[in-house]
Amino acid sequence: MKNQTKMMLVVCLMAVSTPMAALAAAQDYAFEAVKTEVRNGPGSDIAVRLVHKPSGKPVEDAVIFRTRLDMSPENMEGMTTKIEPLTESEPGVYKFRADFTMAGGWALKLQAKVQGEPETVQGTVVFTAKD
């Protein structure tokens, strides 16, 4: 009787936790700015760190397949600029070269594939371009 109760509990927990786990997976990762304040102007280097939140560890070898840099933090969502990826400088740190055209807040929106994670990992990192 006791074992059966335990079994039921395990089955119930699995039923409850499985969809949650699937949802949580991509959210277990966060992009953050290495340095929030960056130089305004063309050819400005910026860097983001990809972190696995539960372990706090940097995530290496992620494939960042889509980026968009726009001024949505300043209510200028339509104002975008060119950004090109540079090589991963240290494990989990991804560098880019951006052509900032205005001082102020810029949002870098990223989509990435992480090894062992079937879902697309998404993130937004806000930088402040200063003259």
* Closest CB to Cu ion among residues 58, 73: 73
Taking contact as CB under 5 A, which single stretch among the options 7-15, 64-72, 84-92, 120-128 is the one that binds Cu ion? 64-72
Q: Does 107 bind Cu ion (CB under 5 A)?
A: no
**Interacting residues of 113 by C-beta distance below 8 A, sequence separation 6+:** 62, 63, 65, 120, 121
Under the criterion CB under 5 A, does residue 69 sit at the interface with Cu ion? no
x/- mask, Cu ion, residues 10-49, rule CB under 5 A, reads ----------------------------------------
98 binds Cu ion per the rule CB under 5 A: no
Q: Is the distance from CB of 113 to CB of 19 less than 8 angstroms? A: no
**Residue 5 phi/psi, 5° resolution?**
-60, -45
Given the rule CB under 5 A, which of 5-13, 48-56, 69-77, 80-88 is the region that contacts Cu ion?
A: 69-77
Binding site for Cu ion (CB under 5 A): 71, 76, 79, 102
